[in-house]
Structure 1
Amino acid sequence: MTFDKRLGLRFLPYGANYLDWDDMSELRHAVEHKVLFRYQTETESMASRLERTVARELDAGHVLAVHNCTEALRLALVSTRPRVGDVVHIPAVTFVAVAGAVLATGLIPVPVDVDDTFSLDASLLPDDAQRVIVAHMEGTVAPLPEGVPYVIEDTAQALGASFPDGRRAGTRGYAGTFSFHHNKVLTSGEGGLLVTNDERAWEVMRCYHDHGSARQPGRYPTWNEDAYWGENFVTSEEVAAIQLQQFRHLPEILAGLERHYAIALQELPDRPDIELMPRSAGDAKISIRFRLADRDLRDAAVARLTGQGIANWTLGKYLLPEHPVLKGRRSLYADGFPWNLADGVPRALSHDGFARTRSLLDRTLCVPLSPELTEQEQAVAAKAVRQVLESL
């Protein structure tokens, strides 16, 4: 049986499937007013409205809209007032943008090995760790290390997820970062958010993201007397408008993912060499994840699923110690900055040189869930995945 393509390869994942011209009232408003720069609006800007909406939905103290999640990570790091060459401990399994944000801030990333869920293994952190980025990979809420002054939550893949105590992922650490990239829970193509409950940190972030000065709506450009140099990470009104439209659908998307996950659990393959990687109640269930007996079986599953038109992915590309940026300590600066400041800094922290993690990655298979499908369609999709995996 060839799987119904309408339920298969999903080029428009999650929030993108909810983009609809008839639902774009905020975007129409921004265009009709012909002001797309947030600090020149006469009334509340779309960007400010977005920040207010997110703060309410996530129960966060302060929110700042930026161009993308990488910039949000940079802003969070800059606001800690580091010295160039300071170390930032990051997960060994995550997207390379995390390492890139650290390096672009003049700091040194040190990958730290992960546990069975691909969450950073805090037991490997040195006692004097100052800055740690924790990634909530694949919607899985990772535990936060204790006793670290600056814990930054990379929540790019886990918007809407919750910790066991009910607090939203991205709101428990020093700062949380979110992505609206195309392949995220919500999307505006690109776009990011920075969340913090630290008011002084937010003031630094707000100034740095707009050339070092706190702008006032309708009074642009103005400069603070104590302005310092910064960069331009200011989001635009049309992007914020699309993000507002997307946020209206967040409860619907999360509920659809939960429903599809529950249905998929009823259609698990009946074979001992394919195990489910369980999820916690608060995870954003963007996929169902399997751990197979070996790499050959995983590769056979990838080939068979792809041949049947069923979307799937693997996670080997996320092993940062093998990425050229970290493995070769590559830099465009003539003097190798900031790697030239890394004397004495360990390349990575692992119990076994990442042997266990490589094995886990080699055997892991992810199949995306589809919140926009009806319950009947989700049942058909889950059965198709089970049939393919049982046929291997």
Structure 2
Amino acid sequence: MTLDKRLGLRFLPYGANYLDWSDMSELRHAVEQGVLFRYQTESESMASLLERRVAEKLGAAHVLAVHNCTEALRLALVSTRPRVGDPVHIPAVTFVAVAGAVLSTGLIPVPVDVDETFSLDTSLLPPDTQRVIVAHMEGTVAGLPEGVPYVIEDAAQALGAAFPDGRRAGTRGYAGTFSFHHNKVLTSGEGGLLVTQDPRAWEVMRCYHDHGSARVPGRYPTWNEGAYYGENFVTSEEVAAIQLQQFRHLDEILAGLERHYAIACEELPDRSDITPLPRAAGDAKISLRFRLESRELRDAAVARLTERSIANWTLGKYLLPEHPVLTSRRSLYADGFPWNLADGVPRGISRDGFARTRALLDRTLCVPLSPELSEADQRIAAKTLRQTLETL
């Protein structure tokens, strides 16, 4: 009998397994108040409380709760006060939302090739680079470029991860973004956070996210003198309340992932054709990543794992230079904006046309870890994985 059937498990990632009505005191309070808009609560709003707790936990000076991580990326970019058509260098391997955030802000995404860990290769950046988005993919803490004025950390998959110096992922660059999407470390279905240490950037971000003005709780709406336009990215109280419940379990989830990772590493089969990719001490260990000898062996592993109901995924869908959003350069604007401003901006930066990266992606396989399992069940899961890989 497979592990999921024996334990009655559903394939829910990370924080989703910790959603519990009995643990939802913040959500009950928000509903009982009958006010789900953050700027009309009589006491401290759930959104403000969330922002304060996240700031304390991550060591961030300023935190802003928004609808999702894509909006957080857009806010971070807008706050740099760019010119339309400016290039933004992004990893060649990441979710398309990164490119979408750049384009919807009127800027041009330039995919930059990655290293062996699928982190942006900072050595390839041009010397005059102004804006870079660095993605901490799969919880792996990526290196940040030096001398770039605006480094935005996409930490959507790395909440709680840390750099070697102890600072949390998302807090070292100009701004950091986080996601509460269903498949992330913590979840509220959707939801996002934006953090920065820069007070001037913070003022722009919080105004733009609510129609161009900083709001006074309990006196909505108020307008800044000389207000500029903005959008509505304001989170709601019920979403912030769920995120507060999730945030209470962050350390527990990270510890469970760490324990499962250590157990799984002890059980990995001794095969020269299947190599586990190492994880650094500060990484959020949301998965085991394997580099297999060939695409054929990788596909065989996918089939065998799926047959045994062991969750797994590959990363080829994250190769942005081959994504239709970038290859077609289509636009909903009649004049092709912002692609019509892309003359002279390279389509990508790579030493070999991304050939090495394609080959690495073709041989890479990820298996999620399960923080909610007991140590005994994590050992069963690790043995099941080992036995499955040994049969290839």
Question: Hey, what's the Cα distance between the residues in 1 that align with 2:338 and 2:296?
Answer: 39
Whether the 8 Å contact between 1:156 and 1:184 is mirrored in structure 2 is yes
CA 1:97–1:8: 2 relative to 1, 3 Å: farther
CA distance in 2, matches of 1:18, 1:258: 17
CA distance in 1, matches of 2:164, 2:66: 28
Match of 1:212 in 2: 212
SS in structure 1 at match of 2:361: helix
CA offsets per residue over residues 308-350 of structure 1, 9 Å max, x none?
A: 0000000000000000000111211111110000001100000
1:266 is paired with a residue whose SS is helix
Could you state the TM-score of these two structures normalised by the residue count of structure 2?
A: 0.99
User: C-alpha distance in 1, partners of 2:63/2:246?
Assistant: 17
**Pair 9,20 (structure 1): closer, same or farther in 2 beyond 3 Å:** closer
2:302 corresponds to: 302
1:279 maps to which residue?
279
- Cα gap change, 1:90 to 1:309, in 2 (>3 Å): same
1:9 deviation in Å? 7.6
Q: 160-169 or 332-341, which moves further after superposition?
A: 332-341
Q: For the residues of structure 1 that align with 2:177 and 2:271, how far apart are their CA atoms?
A: 39
Distance 1:154-1:374 versus aligned 2 partners, 3 A rule:
same
The answer to whether the Cα contact below 8 Å between 1:288 and 1:366 also exists between their aligned partners in 2 is yes
Q: Is the 8 A contact 1:9 1:311 kept in 2?
A: no
State the partner residue of 1:80: 80
Q: Residue 30 and residue 2 in structure 1: after superposition, are their counterparts in 2 closer, same or farther (change >3 A)?
A: closer
The aligned residue for residue 174 of structure 1 is: 174
Given residue 228 of structure 1, which amino acid in structure 2 is its aligned partner?
Answer: Y
Quote the offset at 1:42 in angstroms: 0.8
Cα distance between partner residues in 1 of 2:267 and 2:369: 13
RMSD: 1.0
Match of 1:183 in 2: 183
SS in 2 for 1:202: helix
Q: How far apart are the structure 2 equivalents of 1:6 and 1:272? A: 32
User: For residues 244 and 214 of structure 1, what CA distance do their matches in structure 2 show?
Assistant: 23
* Corresponding residue for residue 26 of structure 1: 26
Q: Report the Cα distance in structure 2 between the residues aligned to 1:189 and 1:380, rounded to whole angstroms.
A: 29
Which amino acid in structure 1 is aligned with residue 154 of structure 2?
A: D
Contact residue 64 and residue 193 of structure 2 kept, 8 A: yes
- Number of residue pairs aligned between Structure 1 and Structure 2: 392
**Equivalent residue for 1:44?**
44
Matched, 1:320 2:330: no
Q: Structure 1 residues 58 and 105 mapped into 2: Cα distance closer, same or farther (>3 Å)?
A: same
Aligned partner of 2:80: which letter? T
Query: How far apart, in 1, do the equivalents of 2:52 and 2:109 lie?
Result: 33
Distance 2:111 2:4 in 1: 41
What is the distance in 1 between the residues matched to 2:42 and 2:346?
52
Aligned mates of 2:148, 2:38 — CA distance in 1: 35
- TM superposition shift of 1:11: 2.9
Distance 2:3 2:36 in 1: 44
Residues 3 and 380 of structure 2 are in contact (CA less than 8 Å); yes or no, is this contact kept in structure 1? no
Per-residue Cα deviation, 1:177-224 (whole angstroms, up to 9, x for no partner): 000000000000000000000000000000000000000000001111
Q: Is the partner of 1:346 in helix, strand or coil?
A: coil
Instruction: Give a deviation string over 1:155-179, Cα, whole Å, max 9, x none.
Output: 0000000000000000000000000
Q: Is the contact made by 1:85 and 1:341 (CA closer than 8 Å) also made in structure 2?
A: yes
Counterpart of 1:67, as a letter, is H
Q: Which residue of 1 aligns with 2:292?
A: 292
- Once the two structures are TM-superposed, the CA of residue 225 in structure 1 deviates from its matched residue by 1.0
Maintained 8 Å contact 1:61/1:195: yes
**C-alpha distance after superposition, 1:111-147 (max 9, x if no partner):** 0000000000011100000000000000000000000
Equivalent residues of 2:11, 2:311 under 8 A apart: no
The residue that corresponds to 1:15 in the other structure is 15
Q: Is the 8 A contact 1:84 1:107 kept in 2?
A: yes
User: Which stretch shifts more, 136-145 or 1-10?
Assistant: 1-10
Tell me the equivalent position of 2:68: 68
For the residue of structure 1 that corresponds to 2:352, the secondary structure is: coil
In the superposition, relative to structure 1, how do residues 250 and 340 fare at CA in structure 2: closer, same or farther (>3 Å)? Answer: same
Match runs of 1:90-105 below 5 Å: 90-105=90-105
What CA deviation, in whole Å up to 9, does each residue of 1:93-114 have, x standing for no partner? 0000000000000000000000
Q: Kindly tell me: are residues 172 and 8 of structure 1, through their superposed partners in 2, closer, same or farther at Cα, counting changes over 3 Å? A: farther
What is aligned with 2:362?
362
8 Å contact 1:155–1:176 — kept in the other structure?
yes
Aligned residues with identical type, % of pairs: 86
Whether the 8 Å CA contact 1:276–1:290 is kept in 2: the answer is yes
How far apart in 2 are the matches of 1:132 and 1:5? 44
CA distance in 2, matches of 1:8, 1:155: 32
Could you give the per-residue CA deviations for residues 10-64 of structure 1, whole angstroms, max 9, x where no partner exists?
Answer: 5311000000000000000000000000000011000000000000000100000
Structure 1 contact 179–193 (Cα < 8 Å) conserved? yes
TM-score normalised to the size of structure 1? 0.99
CA distance in 1, matches of 2:2, 2:32: 46
Residues 280-316 of structure 1 deviation map (CA, whole Å, 9 limit, x = unaligned): 0000000011100000000000000000000000000
Q: Return the offset for 1:4.
A: 4.0
Unmatched runs of 5 consecutive residues or more in structure 2:
none
